[in-house]
């Protein structure tokens, strides 16, 4: 049995280990401390802990002083009636003492391995947690050995300590898993809510042009309209239909890019050429609004999908034009940086209040802006951002009320040497 001094020594070590557990140390570290503490109390012993995984296989847990080659060979041990001391101890759910592994039949398969690493005796005890075997605690010796009652008492205490450490670790893991499941549930709930809000907003957005089509069609059918009035009605129907079509196109693009199903054809692309192509489409509106567009910056080449890059630039520049007052200037500037290229689109419009910035990328949210004559559905920015991200880039917006808005598209640069 243990002497009074030994009991004190054991208690000291147990306390140190429990403090380590309480401070949140990782399980391998705690098991190493337990093993080293027992080795100190049982000179000449080398100990190890194996842990049972979900498949019922024994995996390395801790063996700070056993040869690494031996531990690696034992890792993955499958319990059974003739599986050395540890595998047999799990199989029998009882301690297995092999006083001499060179003659013990349970060691027949591992005898050579043990001899190669100078291990002659091995005694293994199952570690239990919540009445289940969760691993083994093994004590090896360099010569045949029979444990005495003191050894048995020490191993009993340290096996118990290991089981507490493992239990604590599993409980923490379970808490962590529950937490993750809760986060996943919340995020699914949020996604669901976002989806139904999206559908509500989409229906709302489609209703106005559809009502307009319905009422003008009815007028055409029931009223005796003059040729001018008929032309006007048909014109309104056509505008509403185009509006619906553009919303549907954007919604489909958004759905595809969010599902990761948008085909993206990455090529080396000359930014100035694509900006120029986008500007061709927006120039008439800029002229109508008396907004000047200035371009500057070096020629830069990016990896991008030509069509999608134009779509992004068009969205951003059309915002800049639509939300600028007349006689202001929009600047489009290119910049080459480490591995990336940037396109800056800076306007002198009204700017966006800080508290609304978070809603910029919410579909159908126009931040209170009227859809107006050339107004959009509030899909442009979210789509532009998703498209840019699908090309491996980012889109950021910065805005100061009364000063203007600054959009930055960052895309991976084309490989060095690509020039246009
Ligand atoms: N450059 C800007 N200056 C001021 N406000 C802006 C600017 N860009 C966007 N906004 C605000 O953000 C809102 C959302 O922009 P977004 O491009 O997503 O939608 P939209 O332009 O209203 O419609 P769509 O782009 O679908 O035609 C706009 O309605 C506007 O209120
Ligand atoms: Mg827009």
Query: Following DSSP, what letter does each residue of 10-50 receive, concatenated?
Result: HHHHHHHHHHHHHTT--HHHHHHHHHHHHHHHSTTEEEEEE
Of all protein residues, whose CA lies closest to atom 1 belonging to ligand 1?
320
Q: How many CA atoms does the CB half-sphere of 124 hold within 13 Å?
A: 28
Q: DSSP for 53-74?
A: -TTS-EEEEE-TTS-HHHHHHH
Of all protein residues, whose CA lies closest to atom 30 belonging to ligand 1?
366
> pLDDT band for position 370 (50/70/90)?
low
Token reading at 366: 């126009």
Q: Where do the structural domains in the chain lie, given as residue ranges? A: 4-178, 189-258, 267-412
**At residue 353, does pLDDT exceed 60?**
yes
Distance 273 CA to ligand 2 centre (A): 22
- The minimum-distance atom of ligand 1 relative to the CA of 379 is 26
Of all protein residues, whose CA lies closest to atom 8 belonging to ligand 1?
319
Distance 319 CA to ligand 1 centre (A): 5
Pairing of strands 301-304, 328-337: unpaired
**At residue 371, does pLDDT exceed 90?**
no
Classified by CATH at the fold level, domain 267-412 comes out as Heat Shock Protein 90 (3.30.565)
Residue of 346, 359, 381, 398 to mutate, ligand 1, most atoms within 8 A of C-beta: 381
- The sign of the torsion formed by the CA atoms of 130, 131, 135, 136 equals positive
- The minimum-distance atom of ligand 1 relative to the CA of 363 is 18
Instruction: Give 128-167 pLDDT, tens digit per residue.
Output: 998 899 999 999 999 999 999 999 999 999 999 999 999 9
**At residue 373, does pLDDT exceed 80?**
no
- The minimum-distance atom of ligand 1 relative to the CA of 383 is 18
Which residues, chain by chain, have CB under 5 Å from ion ligand 2?
319, 376, 380
Architecture of domain 189-258: Orthogonal Bundle (1.10)
Coil, helix or strand at residue 95: coil
From CA 201, how far away is CA 181, in angstroms rounded? 30
**At residue 368, does pLDDT exceed 90?**
no
pLDDT exceeding 90 applies to what percent of the chain? 89
Residue of 251, 319, 356 to mutate, ligand 1, most atoms within 8 A of C-beta: 319
Average pLDDT over residues 32-41: 96
**At residue 417, does pLDDT exceed 60?**
yes
From the centroid of its chain, how far is CA 163? 33
pLDDT of 25 reads: 95
- Is the distance from CB of 142 to CB of 119 less than 8 angstroms? yes
Residue with the bigger pLDDT between 377 and 403: it is: 403
> pLDDT band for position 349 (50/70/90)?
very high
Coil, helix or strand at residue 3: coil
Average pLDDT over residues 407-414: 97
pLDDT of 416 reads: 84
From CA 361, how far away is CA 399, in angstroms rounded? 14
Distance 366 CA to ligand 1 centre (A): 6
- Is the distance from CB of 334 to CB of 299 less than 8 angstroms? yes
Average pLDDT over residues 330-354: 96
Task: State which CATH number among 3.90.870.10, 1.20.120.530, 3.30.450.40, 3.10.129.10 fits the domain covering 4-178.
Answer: 3.30.450.40
Neighbour tally for 218: CB within 10 Å: 11
Instruction: Give 172-221 pLDDT, tens digit per residue.
Output: 999 999 999 999 999 999 989 988 988 998 998 899 899 999 999 999 99
From CA 73, how far away is CA 237, in angstroms rounded? 78
Whether the domain at 4-178 and the domain at 267-412 fall into the same CATH topology: no
Average pLDDT over residues 335-362: 94
Instruction: Give 281-305 pLDDT, tens digit per residue.
Output: 999 999 999 999 999 999 999 999 9
**At residue 313, does pLDDT exceed 90?**
yes
From CA 190, how far away is CA 183, in angstroms rounded? 10
Q: DSSP for 244-270?
A: HHHHHHHHHHHHHHHTT------EEEE
Distance 231 CA to ligand 2 centre (A): 29
Q: Is 24 exposed, middle or buried (0-12, 13-18, 19+ CB in 10 A)?
A: exposed
**At residue 272, does pLDDT exceed 70?**
yes
Average pLDDT over residues 324-341: 95
- Is the distance from CB of 304 to CB of 266 less than 8 angstroms? yes
- Is the distance from CB of 300 to CB of 271 less than 8 angstroms? yes
Residue of 312, 316, 323 to mutate, ligand 1, most atoms within 8 A of C-beta: 323
In what helix (H) or strand (E) does residue 406 lie, and over which residues does it extend? strand 404-412
- Is the distance from CB of 125 to CB of 136 less than 8 angstroms? yes
Q: What is the mean pLDDT of the chain?
A: 94
- Residues with CB under 6 Å of ligand 1 are 315, 319-320, 323, 347, 349-350, 352, 360, 366-367, 369, 376-382, 405
From CA 10, how far away is CA 29, in angstroms rounded? 19
Distance 74 CA to ligand 1 centre (A): 64
Distance 385 CA to ligand 1 centre (A): 13
From CA 55, how far away is CA 358, in angstroms rounded? 47
Distance 212 CA to ligand 1 centre (A): 23
pLDDT of 372 reads: 55
Average pLDDT over residues 14-22: 94
Phi, psi of 296 (to 5 degrees): -155, 175
Token reading at 81: 């009636």
Average pLDDT over residues 84-105: 97
Largest CA distance in the chain: 115
Q: Which of 52, 65, 28, 57 is nearest to 140 (CA)?
A: 65
Average pLDDT over residues 93-105: 97
Of all protein residues, whose CA lies closest to atom 7 belonging to ligand 1?
319
From CA 20, how far away is CA 41, in angstroms rounded? 19
- The sign of the torsion formed by the CA atoms of 50, 53, 59, 65 equals negative
Residues listed for the chain: 420
Distance 373 CA to ligand 1 centre (A): 14
């Amino acid at each position: 049995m243990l002497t009074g001094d030994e009991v004190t020594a054991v208690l000291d070590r147990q306390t140190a280990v429990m403090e380590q557990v309480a401070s949140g140390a990782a399980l391998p570290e705690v098991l190493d401390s337990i093993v080293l503490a027992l080795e100190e109390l049982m000179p000449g012993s080398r100990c190890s802990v194996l842990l049972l995984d979900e498949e019922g296989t024994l995996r390395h847990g801790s063996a700070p002083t056993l040869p690494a080659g031996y531990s690696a060979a034992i890792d993955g041990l499958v319990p059974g009636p003739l599986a050395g001391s540890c595998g047999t101890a799990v199989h029998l759910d009882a301690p297995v003492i092999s006083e001499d592994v060179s003659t013990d039949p349970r060691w027949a398969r591992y005898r050579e391995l043990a001899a190669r690493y100078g291990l002659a005796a091995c005694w293994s005890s199952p570690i239990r947690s919540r009445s289940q075997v969760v691993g083994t605690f093994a004590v090896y010796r360099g010569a045949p050995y029979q444990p005495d009652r003191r050894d048995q008492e020490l191993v009993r205490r340290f096996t118990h300590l290991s089981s507490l450490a493992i239990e604590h670790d599993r409980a923490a893991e379970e808490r962590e898993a529950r937490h993750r499941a809760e986060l996943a549930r919340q995020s699914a709930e949020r996604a669901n809510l976002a989806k139904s809000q999206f559908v509500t907003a989409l229906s709302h957005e489609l209703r106005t042009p559809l009502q307009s089509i319905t009422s003008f069609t009815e007028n055409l059918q029931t009223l005796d309209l003059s040729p001018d009035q008929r032309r006007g009605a048909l014109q309104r129907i056509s505008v509403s239909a185009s509006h619906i079509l553009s919303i549907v196109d954007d919604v489909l693009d958004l759905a595809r890019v969010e599902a990761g199903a948008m085909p993206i054809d990455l090529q080396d692309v000359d930014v100035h050429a694509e900006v120029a192509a986008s500007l061709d489409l927006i120039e008439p509106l800029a002229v109508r609004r008396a907004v000047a567009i200035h371009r500057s910056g070096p020629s830069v080449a990016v990896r991008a999908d030509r069509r999608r890059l134009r779509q992004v630039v068009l969205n951003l520049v059309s915002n800049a034009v639509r939300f600028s007052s007349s006689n202001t200037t929009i600047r489009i500037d290119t910049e080459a940086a480490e591995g990336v290229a940037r396109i800056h689109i800076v306007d002198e419009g009204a700017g966006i209040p800080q508290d609304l910035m978070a809603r910029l990328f919410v579909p159908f949210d126009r931040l209170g802006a009227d859809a107006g004559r050339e107004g959009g559905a509030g899909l442009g920015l979210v789509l532009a951002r998703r498209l840019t991200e699908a090309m491996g880039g980012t889109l950021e917006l910065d805005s100061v009320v009364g000063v203007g808005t600054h959009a930055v598209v960052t895309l991976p640069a084309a490989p060095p040497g690509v020039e246009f």
